[in-house]
Homo-oligomer: A and B are copies of this chain.
Amino acid sequence: MIKPFRGGIRKGGLNALSGGSIAITSMTPKPVQQLKKREVFHENNSNPSSDDESDVDDRHPPRPPKTRRSSSGVIAAAMAPYVTEFDLYEPQSADDRELPIQKIAVVGSGSWGTALGRIAALNAAEKKGFDHEVRMWVREREIPGQGLLTDVINSTHVNHRYLPDVPLPHNLVAVSELADVVKDATLIVLVVPHQFLTPVLEELSKPGVLTTGARAISAIKGVEVAGSEIYTFPWLIEKKLGIPCSALGGANIAMEVAQSEFCETTIGVPSKDDAALWHAVFDSPMFRVHPIEDVAGVSLSGALKNVVALAAGFVDGMGYGGNTKAAILRIGLLEMAAFTKEFFPSSSSLTFSHHSAGVADLITTSFGGRNRKCAEAFIKTGKTFAQLEHELLKGQKLQGVATAEETYQFLHARGHFIVTQIQPP
């Protein structure tokens, strides 16, 4: 069911607050290993077994190098019952419903695709209602001295290029032919770099390639601009493939997700059915999924936050402090919401102000992401972004720069934008 926005706390008082506050009540440091069972669980906690620490530790080996108290399950356990109030679907477990067995395909195998594939495969192996095998599309190539890349991934269960040192579940199978990857798949995760999306959709839209009744989700960041028109990737995918498409976004730095640092993610869905299914695919104790009814908001936030992160990097590069950076983030967040609301009127400003895909993603990206890093270097070194992409990103493109150019061109084509340039003296 869709929960109405109430803007306050859940009826029944402040019970829901206990989750986020546990650390504060303990005023002397103690070994962090066991969380006392709460007397009252959140009444809508759909997965109470996620508090089971042995399960957490088994599935999520602790990250090796950092200094850390023993159990990675503490934060997950503390936060598991916390469900936000705002504009949220309450996902039903797919297990409870009469559904055909779901088969997951992951189209893409960069760091983010592999991290998402890992989580989906762990869930497919464990939850009812899923085909055990999750296929992941890998662009085939020869690895010198080791053979084909798919064979290397399938024998070592590591994606050495994009997620080195992260063991992958054996039921995540690398496949080189796109048609084989999506064969019989009912749930298709699209996570290719956005310049590859058009040829991928071309291939998938051929007759007989997709299964009837399949659904897609986009984890691709960016927007598609054509003159004075702007499109989200889920919209393009729906149009081209004729299937419903959701959007996934949140404060999710890929390597941290792969190493089972606790995080949250937001899924913008077009329907309740999509909410339940994608929640089942991705939700796990260390990766909490909150579905909301705003595909456009999740898509746009994921794209525009990279532009604000560039501004945050400029602030860092120019030597300004925390006050200025916080002002840039606050105003940037309002701008992101305003832009989205202007051109996608059905979107919700709550997506930006309350959800992981909004404010949390912006914070993470503006402090830790590569757009911020390159923007700081841009100010300090005077090099072009093209140079910095070559030197710092091994030739990968900075999404913030591309999105800034595209949204600028779009706004200009719409006659909205006022050109303001910083001029030499």
Q: Are B32 and A253 closer than 8 Å at their CB atoms?
A: no
Of the candidates B253, B320, B361, B363, the one whose C-beta lies within 8 Å of that of A75 is B320
Determine how close the nearest CB of chain B comes to the CB of A72; give it in whole angstroms: 8
**1/0 per residue A303-319: CB within 8 Å of B?**
00001001100110011
How many copies of this protein are present in the complex? 2
CA distance A79 to B315 in the complex (A): 13
Interface residues of A in 271-324 (CB under 8 A from B): 288, 307, 310-311, 314-315, 318-324
Asked if A8 contacts B68 (CB within 8 A), the reply is: no
Among listed A162-170, A228-236, A332-340, interface-contacting one: A332-340
Known contacts: A18-B417, A417-B14. The answer to whether A363 contacts B326 by CB under 8 A is yes
Residues of B within 8 Å of A420, CB to CB, are 18, 21-22, 25, 35-36, 38, 78
Interface 1/0s, chain A 48-88, versus B by CB < 8 A? Answer: 00000000000000010011110000110011001011100
CA distance A334 to B354 in the complex (A): 7
Among A103-111, A152-160, A374-382, A389-397, the one that faces the other chain is A374-382
Beyond A24-B311, A34-B425, A360-B330, whether A29 also contacts B382 by CB under 8 A is yes
Q: Interface size (A, Cβ < 8 Å)?
A: 113
Q: Which residues on B sit within 8 Å (CB–CB) of A82?
A: 331
A210 within 8 A of B: no
Task: Out of B28, B318, B342, B355, name the residue touching A14 (CB < 8 Å).
Answer: B342
Say if the beta carbon of A176 comes within 8 Å of chain B. Answer: no
* A377 → chain B closest CB, angstroms: 10
- The answer to whether A339 and B23 touch (CB under 8 A), given A75-B324, A356-B326, is no
A82-B331, A359-B333 known; A7-B349 Cβ under 8 A? yes
The interface residues of chain B lying within 8 Å CB-to-CB of A38 are 418, 420
Chain B residue with Cβ nearest A345: B8
A123 at the interface (CB under 8 A from B): no
Q: Chain B's nearest CB lies how many Å from the CB of A306?
A: 11
- Identify which of A63, A253, A323 gathers the most chain B CB atoms within 10 Å of its CB: A323
Given A13-B416, A35-B422, A253 contacting B327 (CB threshold 8 A): no
Counting chain B CB atoms within 10 Å of each CB, which of A319, A328, A333, A418 scores highest? A418
A324 with B262: in contact, given A23-B311, A82-B331, A335-B20 (CB under 8 Å)? yes
Query: A379's closest neighbor in chain B, by CB?
Result: B29
The 7 listed contacts between A and B (C-beta, < 8 Å) are A9-B338, A24-B408, A26-B421, A26-B422, A31-B425, A34-B423, A326-B356
Kindly list 9 other residue pairs between chains A and B, CB separation below 8 angstroms, not including A9-B338, A323-B364.
A9-B342, A18-B420, A22-B420, A30-B422, A30-B424, A253-B321, A262-B327, A263-B323, A327-B356
**Across the A-B interface, the 9 shortest Cβ-Cβ residue pairs:** A263-B323, A66-B319, A251-B326, A353-B353, A9-B338, A68-B319, A326-B360, A322-B368, A330-B360
